[in-house]
Structure 1
Amino acid sequence: MTSILSRLSPVPYFPSYKGPYEVGTIDLEVPVSQFVDEGLTPPCPSHSGIPTIQFRIFYPAALKGQATGVQGANWVPSPRKEYVAAYCRFAGAGEFLANVLSYIPRHLYYIQIPAYSNHNLLGFPSKFPVVVFSHGLGGTRNTYSYITASLAAYGCVVFCPEHRDGSAPATFIREPKRKSGLDELQRSTENEPPKIEVEGVPQTPSSSGSDCEDGSGGNSSQDEKEKKKQTDGSGESKGEKSKKEKTHTSKVKGVTRRRIDYISQAHEISPVTAATRNKQLEIRLWELGVLYAVIQELDKGWREENIDEDLYLTGVKKTGDISRLLKMFEGRLDVASPGSITWTGHSFGAATTTQFVKSCWYAPLFKQNGELKEPLYVPSDYLLRHFHPDGTIAKTSKAPSAVLLDTWCLPLLGDRTRVMWKLPIPGPTIGIFSQQFFKWKENLRGFRHVMNRKGGAFESEWFKEAQQEEDKAPTISIPTNAQATKDEILPQVHKLHRTSSLDVTPQLPTGFRQGDEAKLNEDESTEAAISEAEEDMETLSLKRTQSRKSQLSIPGQPDRRFYYVVESAHMSQSDFGILFPTSAKYLLRVADSEAVLDLNVRALTEFLREGGKNVAGYGDEERDGDIFGEGVVKGWELVDLELGDEGLKKSEGLKKVGEVIEEAKKKVGEVKSEPKEGGPRL
């Protein structure tokens, strides 16, 4: 009856989760000062000034049907009107129009996540595996709730941070009163060069990727000229004025909230976008490091002296109730052993996960040889010991598992990420692409390098061209405005538009613009050509055999797995497809959004079981034998990890495909022509 009423209601709804447990959830915003003061994390990046971290936790609450209380947490975060307006701005509406439109789709306010807010944690088992999920562009802490809550329904505790780097449509910071942890940051930035902005992102010459011979960040004559351009007669930076204009603060019931808006940036590979995305990535990495400290504090037992008006738990006001909900995680999280947390993310979040895991794993190496210049993130010793108990890469070290959904490689191709890009991701890794991202061949090549056991060799075209012309790494100057980008700072920008196979419009949650399908298919590979041919089971078997060979385990090397889901879009791994299935079907050609998400969940849970995590079984079985097995699962395609066919021209690749198909058909014909026993041949 409930299901029928849900279908009649205009309010979008989620199907129930497949796991054996009911799901609980709490929504937190925690000041970072405690963790900075205690040396558990470095201060926030100097260009961000972020005093809190915000995240949602999903966890097993009870056996199916045995939870108490009212099910339902708001899918649109609070303040809901502001978030709806932010999504309207994200889609291209101006400030005034977005505020008007935020009143219209009021039924969106009532979308509920089918989880029990502030429920007690399940009483068994003794410890739960921990997963951290980083969202992509246009995402929030709630946007991937179906995947993350499904993991909780199978027995995981999942932490979903909301990044304050300008990648969310909007996010809100409750200004805490306890700011002692930021004193060190304020002192350390007093003598920094003047800040400038790129599309609303504060920049400094020293952190832009430019390399001065003496290592200084702001003493050159060019810097002085830049400073003059940035100031008016009053001496106040134009960038600072712009930042003030873009900063929105409000005060409700004595609480000051600061709004950070989405940063619109082109997806073309260029020095400007690389530097800007690196700035955002710097904030994201720091947030994951703080979240690690929070997780450890929860497992140790949250101290009551750290529960005050600065710590905000949605729906709970009494200090005693907050203390009870935080204390329920004490000793229940499987985080004590090295590398025990599983790090996951989608799109920009997958790039964040890749960079974070590498930054933590290789930190001792760079401490020893000092090769890493201007690192995006240097983990605290506290975090470093989670990967390397002895402080260095040794026998006691253990690399964590990583799950990368529709990895967007562009943020990993900048100057400041280059060293990490060339190193292999250290632990067991699974990549799952939508079919839409699988067809983006330039990004696919990059991801194959991410998954390569020898590390990345693929470099962005703009870097290679500049290197060939100048016989050195290009110096990236940060332009002050769009006209400067075009006319003065980057004369090579005309080359950049032909280096990327896809001009992506960021104002869509999918990351793609409608009508890009032709471009996506321009450089189709052998695999794509085979999938579009009329295949029989023999051909499919040949394909899968070759792909399995590329993913075979190598002694002493971490496992690699790579799949894509047929008839899926970039949006399919978020909640949008399952909440708006009709739009997904007709606009994105996703026939069954729920089936797409279920394949992702099956793969993630089996990947955790494979890694020895205490996750509930698949149905009546302990393991899901089909999802990584040799059989055929509808819509689930294994992808070849090898880079060998990238050098083939399209015509050569098609010729090779034709030969494989003809050979397979010939074999099938021979089988059919053989007489069957006990009857005449027809």
Structure 2
Amino acid sequence: MGLIVNSLPKYSGPYLVATADLELAVATPRSFGHALLKSTKRPALQLDTVLVTLFYPADSTQRGSGKRQHWLQRPLGQTAEGYARFLGQKPWLVKALFWLVGAGMRLPVQADRPLASRKAEDEVTNEGRSTASSHDTVVDGALAGEKDRFPLVVFSHGLSGTRTTYSQWCGEIASKGYIVAAIEHRDGSGPVSVVRSGDGKERIVDYIRPEHLEWPSGHSPQSAMQFRSSQLSMRLAEISSVLTLMQRLNDGDGAAVAKENRRKEYGEGKSLEGWKGRIDMEKEVTMAGHSFGGATTIQVLRAGATQYPFKRGIALDPWADPIPPAPSPSSPSFSPLSASVSTNTTGSNPAPTTSPSNGNGGKVPLDINVPLLVINSEAFTLWRQHYSLVRDIVKAVGGGAERWLMTLVGSIHISFSDLPLLLPSYLNPRAGSRVPARLATSRVVEACGEFLSGQGTSGEILGQRVKEGDEDGARDGEGGKDAEGKKRVMQGEVGSMRMHIAGRA
């Protein structure tokens, strides 16, 4: 261990964590856009089922299925072939690598344990166990009831991601007392995903490139960025389906959900019967995501409370190109309430003439009126044009909501995923990262924990002030290369957060 691949660390919060892998049919199967796959002549973006892994606080006094979920989807050979196509590598080489390092890689928790009871703060010991009975937890002097609900966080992965690619972030947040629903998108943004039909058949969804697509007669081909807009529409519809699934569990339909589930490799879902009334579906629902999932988060928040119940959002190193840009606050035509989209198609962020669909037939406005936390990698902040797009989105948050934009000094784009934790430490600097993997994860989780708990400006990280020059991202002398051709990096202690925007709109 350590020479080829590391095992995933155990989660550090006060709650034991368990997982549940669920795939259920959506109420109304449908396709998005007009693009067809050349190989099958079928719709490229087809939604039939929704696939999610739940990370949740578990009852430490009861057993689950006794199984631990694999980090890489099974069958392993099929997953390896998908990654080979995505990476443009020879399948035999990727298969050999996966069998060598991935066959035994599992999440560090047991699946299908019963849901825990909420713990009062003074009942949690240093070992992360409650001194009260798991069945009669007292919170603020009242028996577990409404206050025994766990807040819900929905997580959206980025390009080349899956529902387990960010398992460390999801598990850490769950260990702090949240139910995290990590979606696996079937929009062709992941290396490979398997859709299971009710008749036992399977449909493989590979990563979709422009050359894989064609359009039927009468429909003009989309640009790559226009296709991303269609993918965003499908992602929002998948999020709606996940929310429907979570509502069913909260309504006491857990036994039926377990019966309908098409993923039972890690447990039969018997524990789901105990989820009735245990999920906060109203007051503390959070949308989160990384990269393209960060763009998804921003679009969901723009759709507003009329479509989604999200009260706040977390965007980790959001990829801004697919996001219709917010008007600049310095522009004479800027209006915080404007829902229009720029028609400028120059530069690296060509914007569609209308907003992407929210997945329910409506158009997504551009304003966000709920708290938003954005954490950039150093690499994305040094990308000045991209940083400006993200900064304008954060500055456009209105309604008096709190918003933060910060950079994790020394990090790269993949620092938010599990991959740096799995790689031997000597490989991460070669990938461009200056921050140790575990430090990066802990700092990101710490900032997100402050945000989720509502600490705001009283938090150690969120309470930082914006230093002169930092609202513009990189300072003079940061980024690019010096006279000797050496890359210039961001100033500040490696692993620290540099604040760019903080406080209320």
TM-score (norm 2): 0.71
Matches within 5 A, 1:414-429: 414-415=351-352, 418=355, 423-429=366-372
1:347 maps to 291
Per the TM alignment, residue 445 of structure 1 is displaced from its structure 2 partner at its CA by: 0.6
- In structure 2, relative to structure 1, the CA distance for the partners of 1:303 and 1:559 (3 Å cut) is closer
Equivalent residue for 1:59, pick from 53, 56, 71:
56
Per the TM alignment, residue 56 of structure 1 is displaced from its structure 2 partner at its CA by: 0.3
Per the TM alignment, residue 281 of structure 1 is displaced from its structure 2 partner at its CA by: 1.1
Distance in 2 of aligned mates of 1:416 and 1:310: 40
The question of 1:17 aligning with 2:11 is answered yes
1:51 alignment partner, SS class: strand
Per the TM alignment, residue 133 of structure 1 is displaced from its structure 2 partner at its CA by: 0.5
1:629 maps to 463
Unaligned runs of 5+ in 2: 34-42, 120-147, 212-220, 325-350, 357-362, 479-490, 492-505
2:209 maps to 264
Per the TM alignment, residue 409 of structure 1 is displaced from its structure 2 partner at its CA by: 1.0
The question of 1:590 aligning with 2:447 is answered no
2:393 maps to 450
1:328 maps to 274
1:109 alignment partner, SS class: coil
Per the TM alignment, residue 71 of structure 1 is displaced from its structure 2 partner at its CA by: 6.8
- In structure 2, relative to structure 1, the CA distance for the partners of 1:133 and 1:303 (3 Å cut) is closer
Query: Is the contact between residue 401 and residue 427 of structure 1 (CA under 8 Å) also seen in structure 2?
Result: yes
Q: Could you tell me which amino acid in structure 1 is paired with residue 237 of structure 2? A: W
Matches within 5 A, 1:34-183: 35-36=27-28, 43-45=30-32, 47=43, 48-62=45-59, 70=66, 72-93=68-89, 97-99=90-92, 101-106=94-99, 107-125=101-119, 126-177=148-199
Query: Is the contact between residue 562 and residue 641 of structure 1 (CA under 8 Å) also seen in structure 2?
Result: no
- In structure 2, relative to structure 1, the CA distance for the partners of 1:591 and 1:66 (3 Å cut) is farther
Query: Is the contact between residue 17 and residue 174 of structure 2 (CA under 8 Å) also seen in structure 1?
Result: yes
Q: Could you tell me which amino acid in structure 2 is paired with residue 350 of structure 1? A: G
Matches within 5 A, 1:471-486: none
1:31 maps to 25
Per the TM alignment, residue 584 of structure 1 is displaced from its structure 2 partner at its CA by: 1.6
Query: Is the contact between residue 24 and residue 260 of structure 2 (CA under 8 Å) also seen in structure 1?
Result: no
2:499 maps to none
Bigger fraction of residues in helix = 1
2:279 alignment partner, SS class: coil
Equivalent residue for 1:411, pick from 317, 322, 325:
322
1:431 maps to 374
- In structure 2, relative to structure 1, the CA distance for the partners of 1:638 and 1:44 (3 Å cut) is farther
Per the TM alignment, residue 154 of structure 1 is displaced from its structure 2 partner at its CA by: 0.8
Which runs of at least 4 in structure 1 moved beyond 6 Å after TM superposition? 65-69, 419-422, 637-641, 643-646
Per the TM alignment, residue 50 of structure 1 is displaced from its structure 2 partner at its CA by: 2.2
Distance in 2 of aligned mates of 1:645 and 1:100: 40
Q: Could you tell me which amino acid in structure 2 is paired with residue 82 of structure 1? A: Q
Identity of matched residues, %: 29
Query: Which has the higher Rg, Structure 1 or Structure 2?
Result: 1
Query: Is the contact between residue 83 and residue 94 of structure 2 (CA under 8 Å) also seen in structure 1?
Result: no
1:139 alignment partner, SS class: coil
The question of 1:576 aligning with 2:440 is answered no
Per the TM alignment, residue 624 of structure 1 is displaced from its structure 2 partner at its CA by: 7.8
2:410 maps to 567
Matches within 5 A, 1:179-198: none
Query: Is the contact between residue 562 and residue 640 of structure 1 (CA under 8 Å) also seen in structure 2?
Result: no
Q: Give per-residue Cα distances to partners, 1:141-184, cap 9 Å, x unaligned.
A: 0000000100011111000010000000011101124xxxxxxx
1:133 alignment partner, SS class: strand
Per the TM alignment, residue 256 of structure 1 is displaced from its structure 2 partner at its CA by: 1.2
Distance in 1 of aligned mates of 2:402 and 2:413: 25
Distance in 2 of aligned mates of 1:624 and 1:576: 32
Q: Could you tell me which amino acid in structure 2 is paired with residue 335 of structure 1? A: M
- In structure 2, relative to structure 1, the CA distance for the partners of 1:640 and 1:22 (3 Å cut) is farther
Distance in 2 of aligned mates of 1:605 and 1:168: 27
Q: Give per-residue Cα distances to partners, 1:70-104, cap 9 Å, x unaligned.
A: 573211012222112222222112xxx21453134
Query: Is the contact between residue 421 and residue 450 of structure 1 (CA under 8 Å) also seen in structure 2?
Result: no
- In structure 2, relative to structure 1, the CA distance for the partners of 1:630 and 1:349 (3 Å cut) is closer
2:452 maps to 608
The question of 1:299 aligning with 2:133 is answered no
Distance in 2 of aligned mates of 1:108 and 1:638: 44
RMSD of aligned Cα (Å): 3.4
- In structure 2, relative to structure 1, the CA distance for the partners of 1:289 and 1:416 (3 Å cut) is farther
TM-score (norm 1): 0.54
Q: Could you tell me which amino acid in structure 2 is paired with residue 55 of structure 1? A: V
Q: Which moved more, 1:303-312 or 1:132-141?
A: 303-312
Per the TM alignment, residue 418 of structure 1 is displaced from its structure 2 partner at its CA by: 4.2
Per the TM alignment, residue 336 of structure 1 is displaced from its structure 2 partner at its CA by: 3.5
Q: Give per-residue Cα distances to partners, 1:322-352, cap 9 Å, x unaligned.
A: 3x22212211101144xx3100000100101
Query: Is the contact between residue 22 and residue 67 of structure 1 (CA under 8 Å) also seen in structure 2?
Result: no
Q: Give per-residue Cα distances to partners, 1:265-294, cap 9 Å, x unaligned.
A: 59xxx9712211111111111101111111
Per the TM alignment, residue 313 of structure 1 is displaced from its structure 2 partner at its CA by: 3.0
Distance in 2 of aligned mates of 1:59 and 1:454: 30
Distance in 2 of aligned mates of 1:69 and 1:295: 21
Unaligned runs of 5+ in 1: 1-5, 37-41, 178-254, 364-383, 388-398, 456-555, 613-622, 632-636, 651-660, 662-682
Distance in 1 of aligned mates of 2:467 and 2:245: 37
